[in-house]
Structures are given as structure tokens and as C-alpha cells.
Chain A
Amino acid sequence: MTLARDNLTMPAAPVSRWQFDAKALIAAPGLVFMALAFAVPVLMLVGDSFVDSEGLSLAGYRKVLGDPYYIGIIGNSLQLACITTAVCLAIGYPAAWALARIRGVWQVILFALIFLPLTVSIVVKTFGLTIMMRRDGIINFLLVNLGFIERPMRLVFTEFSLYFGMVNVFLPFMILPLYSVMRMLDPRLLDASASLGAGPLHTFLRVTLPLTMPGVIAGGTLVFSISVAAYVTPGLLVGDRFMTMSQVMAKAYLNIRDFQLGASMAVIMLVISAALILASSYLVRAPGGEKR
């Protein structure tokens, strides 16, 4: 649902000629609300991470960044996000390409079929995934009947089920931004490339890929940032066997009540997502990012 986060439609505002207008007060309720209910709590959280019972302290960060256990957990989260993003890109790219090339009523139907799973609750989908992963579930049923394995094996609480589930839940977030870029691509460019003697691989590397790079960046950023923070899907599919930053944050607040640990972890995650957004907006704007 977070498809077009970086192309917020921005009207040209005559900022330089700005002077106070009583009508501007219509913005006040929303702005004041968001300042109090959103900006203040987030800033307070950042502040809390630097404070313990005795005053200013970096104990929370020392605990997280000085402990191999927590470093490993940050690594787990990043690994989860990297692999999920890579698999989503590898599967999503050809799928989005086919979706963008198909015309007419089929495009509408197929588009709806990619879009619909996004609107189904993540808890419901993950629940379906846990049923699929059971020893008597459909994955084992398929694997046995297709002759890949002889007896059903334990899938639930394995990393296989984790990545299977993550890709299942987040794949549309990759396909839709890719699709919206690919749809704009003029197919005659590919014909031009071919008629000038470029082979399919050459055309892909020199024409298709550079032109669709904004979609790759948008989809990649989106999938990475939501999967690095994913909580429900990893929690249900592997649980404590694969601890992530989200798991630690939730436990710190809901179970062990170590608020400084939770706040420090939250700020680290905030920094990761902010870095990601900045990096992606830099990549999209960078002159070498699109044309090479």
C-alpha cells in the first residue's frame, strides 16, 4: 500500500511571495495534531534512549552495540531484509515485466490479482502460511507427491518457511513499483536496440535495466524497509529461533520491561530506515543512476 512514497505529488507553491493569510489557519488543526501525536512521541523516544534512572547515559547503546548477541540480532534483521529483497527482485522483475507488456482486459485482471493479496490482513496470510508448512500441510503434500522427498519433513520454525513466508507477504510491494515504471517504457526502444544489432542480453543490460532502475530502487527500498522491521511474519514462522530487532524491541517492552534496551534498539532501527530512504532518494536523483 506504500507504492508511491517518493513521488508525492507536489504542487508548485509560490513560497517566495508568501505572506500571512487567515485561510492558512485551516492547516493548523492537522499540523498541531501531528506535531503533538507524532513528532513529540518520536523525539521523546529518541531522548529516552539516552537516559537511564541516573540521568544521561549511553548504557542502552553500550548494551546493544557492545554485546555480540545483539549485534548478531541486528545482523539477522539485515540478513532477513537482504535475502527477502533479493528474492523478491529476482521473481518480481520478470513478473512485473509480463504484467506491463500484457494489454487490454487481461492486464486489469492480472493487476487486480497482484493487488488483491496486499489488502488481505498480514495476520491472516501468515496464519495460512503456518497451515501450509505443517507436516500434513500442502507444501509437504506437494513435495511428496512430486517425488522431491519421501516422507513429509518438518518445515515450520525453519528458515525455509521464514523466507517462503516473507517473500509471499512482501512480493507485491516489489512488483507494483516495478510495474509502474515498466509500463512507461517505450517498447520501440527495445526494437531499436535489436535492429542496431544488440543481442537480447546486451539490450537488457544496456537499455531495459537502466531504464527500469528507478522501479528497482523504489521496490527494493520499499521491500527492504518493511522486511527489516517485519514482526508478525517472522514471529509466527520461526519465532525465537531467529531473533530479529523487532522481536527484541517487542520483548523489551512487553515482557522484560527493559525500556532503555527497547528504545536504543528502536532508535537503531530508525537510523537504518532513515539511511535507506536517504540512500534511495540519492540513487534516484544521482545523474549516473539512470543513464550509463
Chain B
Amino acid sequence: MALFGSLFCRIVLGLVIAFLFMPILIVLTVSFSSSAVFAFPPPGFSLRWYASLGNADSMLQAVWLSSQIAALSTAISLVLGTLCAIAITRGMIPGAKAVATFMASPLMLPGLVLGIAFLQAARDFGLRDTYTTLLIAHVVITMPFIMRTVLASLSLFDFAMVDAARMLGRSYPAALWTVLVPNILPGFVSGGLFAFIASFDNYPVSIFLVDVRTKTLPIQLLNQVEMSPDPTVAAISALLILGTIVALIVCDRLVGLKRMASI
């Protein structure tokens, strides 16, 4: 009976993995199809949709914009979040636990609600520049990912090492930079990766903030899927999947996937 149970669970696990990969594999297959309709199985294979990416200007612009926003917002969150996390861990500020919850709370709010709040606030404050608005919103989106991983890393860090560096003549900022930063680098890498992905893939917040000329990639992709779905969309999606896998492998080399996912 127990044997039967564990066999049953293993079969379910196998089916679940097949099920999860289905849409991803379909997109990959379609991107290599020779046909413009999404027939299954595809009539033949070609690279024409990848070749046509060169002309998809609006798509490439969206990729560029999303990369910039994701990289900048992750960088800003890393700096602001780490400084805040140090103060929280060292008990320098009152109500440290409440502060940590506050900094991580954007993750718990529905994305659309955040998006609407940003839209209204940007209007009320007269902030008209789409790029700046997007960037500010994405710093808020990425902050929880940084807070979580950096707080977890700092809880394992021995601050006596910072004191030691200061006794040896380093200033406080220099001690943080040369002792603390290298020690919690794995936390930066995994938190940064998740933050980047969260920003790069964000739809529900960005949809309220973009304008006709400034569209992030998920918005542009969904537009295209709704208006004129053709395998060009599949080709760019396939490249995105490839990019994610490469990033995961690089980060796995740096810190280990298990460790990344467990935080």
C-alpha cells in the first residue's frame, strides 16, 4: 500500500512536470514552424520567424526599455534595501520587525491595485514622465525580493567582522563595503535575479503606467498576442526563455540553485 502510494505520487509528479512544460514547449515548437498558423503538429521547420525579428522594431524597443527598467530598479533596490536591512538587523531603528514587514509588503498586494495607486499618485503629483514613473514603480516592485534575501543573508552574517575591520582602521562605510558586501554576495545575486525577473515580467503594474510610445515588453507582447498573433511573438518568447535559462545557470554556478530557491 505504501509502495503503491509512493508510486502514485511519482506518477503525479511526472505528469505535473509534463503539464507545466506543455505551453513552454509549444511556444518553442511554434517559433521554429514554417507556417504562419499555429497548426499542431507543424507542417515543417524554419528559422524565418527569428529572421523577421530584425524588423520588429517596436518589440526590440520594448526589450530594451524593459531591460533598462529592470536593471536600474534592481540596482536602486539593492542599494536602498541593503542599507535598510543592515539597520533592521542591527536593531538600529525602533520597530525593526514592523519596518521589515513594511518594506516587503508590496509583494502581498495585488499588482493591479499597486498599479492603480501609482497611476493616481503620478497624476496627483503631476509626474508626467512615463520612464520615471515606471522606474519608481518598479523599485517598489523589486524591493521585497531584495529585502527578503538580504535580510536572510544578514541574519547569518557575523557583524563582529565589521567591528574588527573598523578597529583595524577602516571607516564604517569602507568596512561595510570590504567585509560585509563580499560576504553576502550570494544573497545579492539571488535576490537581484528574482527582482530583475519580477520587474522584467511585470504586467499588472506597468499596464497603468505605459504610454503609446513607451511600452515595456510584457505589454508589447500581450498587445501583439491580442492583435496579430504570429510566430514572431513565439520567436521572441523563445529567446526570452533561453535568456532566463542562461541567467539561472550562471546564477547556479555562482551561488547554487537550491540555495536561491530556498530563500
A residues less than 8 Å from B143 (CB atoms): 30, 34, 38
A231 partner, pick from B100, B152, B203, B229, beta carbons under 8 A = B203
Contact of B13 with A110 in the complex, beta carbons under 8 Å: yes
Q: Least Cβ distance of B48 to chain A in Å?
A: 18
A101 part of interface (Cβ distance < 8 Å): yes
Tally chain A residues at the interface, Cβ within 8 Å.
Answer: 98
Known: A14-B91, A138-B26. A225 touches B116 (CB 8 A): no
A98 part of interface (Cβ distance < 8 Å): yes
Contact of A229 with B101 in the complex, beta carbons under 8 Å: no
Task: Enumerate A6-30 residues with CB–CB distance to B below 8 Å.
Answer: 8-11, 13-15, 18, 21, 23-24, 26-27, 29-30
A residues less than 8 Å from B19 (CB atoms): 168, 171
B residues less than 8 Å from A91 (CB atoms): 12, 16
Q: Least Cβ distance of B61 to chain A in Å?
A: 17
Task: Enumerate B7-42 residues with CB–CB distance to A below 8 Å.
Answer: 8-10, 12-13, 16-17, 19-27, 30, 37-41
State A238–B86 Cα separation when bound (angstroms): 46
B97 partner, pick from A13, A117, A120, A273, beta carbons under 8 A = A13
Of chain A, the residue at the smallest CB distance from B92 is A24
B227 part of interface (Cβ distance < 8 Å): no
A117 partner, pick from B1, B9, B21, B113, beta carbons under 8 A = B21
Of chain A, the residue at the smallest CB distance from B222 is A123
Contact of A122 with B148 in the complex, beta carbons under 8 Å: no
Q: SS class of chain B's interface: helix, strand, loop or mixed?
A: helix
Known: A13-B88, A246-B112. A44 touches B117 (CB 8 A): yes
A residues less than 8 Å from B22 (CB atoms): 128, 132, 138, 168
State A243–B30 Cα separation when bound (angstroms): 30
Cβ proximity bits A138-150 to B, threshold 8 Å, 1 near / 0 not: 1001000000000
B237 partner, pick from A2, A8, A127, A200, beta carbons under 8 A = A127
A residues less than 8 Å from B225 (CB atoms): 123, 126-127, 130, 236
Pick from A66-74, A210-218, A248-256 the stretch touching chain B.
Answer: A248-256
Tally chain B residues at the interface, Cβ within 8 Å.
Answer: 104
State A241–B54 Cα separation when bound (angstroms): 37
Cβ proximity bits B216-256 to A, threshold 8 Å, 1 near / 0 not: 00100110011001000110010011001100100000000
Cβ proximity bits B176-217 to A, threshold 8 Å, 1 near / 0 not: 000000000000000000100110110110011000000000
State A172–B143 Cα separation when bound (angstroms): 22
Known: A11-B154, A254-B207. A27 touches B107 (CB 8 A): no
A residues less than 8 Å from B30 (CB atoms): 131
Sampled A-B contacts (20; CB under 8 Å): A8-B148, A9-B148, A23-B90, A23-B172, A30-B83, A38-B143, A42-B114, A101-B9, A110-B17, A117-B24, A122-B218, A123-B201, A126-B23, A128-B26, A171-B19, A225-B108, A229-B110, A250-B207, A254-B207, A263-B120
- Nearest 10 A/B pairs, CB to CB: A128-B23, A229-B110, A13-B91, A27-B87, A30-B80, A41-B121, A30-B84, A98-B9, A24-B92, A41-B117
Known: A27-B92, A98-B13. 6 other contacts (CB 8 A): A9-B148, A30-B83, A112-B257, A127-B233, A131-B23, A263-B120
Instruction: Write the residues of chain A forming the contact surface with B, with a CB cutoff of 8 angstroms.
Output: 1-5, 8-11, 13-15, 18, 21, 23-24, 26-27, 29-31, 33-34, 37-42, 44-45, 48, 91-92, 94-95, 97-99, 101-102, 108, 110-117, 119-132, 134, 136-138, 141, 168, 171-172, 175-176, 180, 190, 194, 199-200, 225, 228-229, 231-232, 236, 246, 249-250, 253-254, 259, 262-263, 266, 269-270, 273, 277
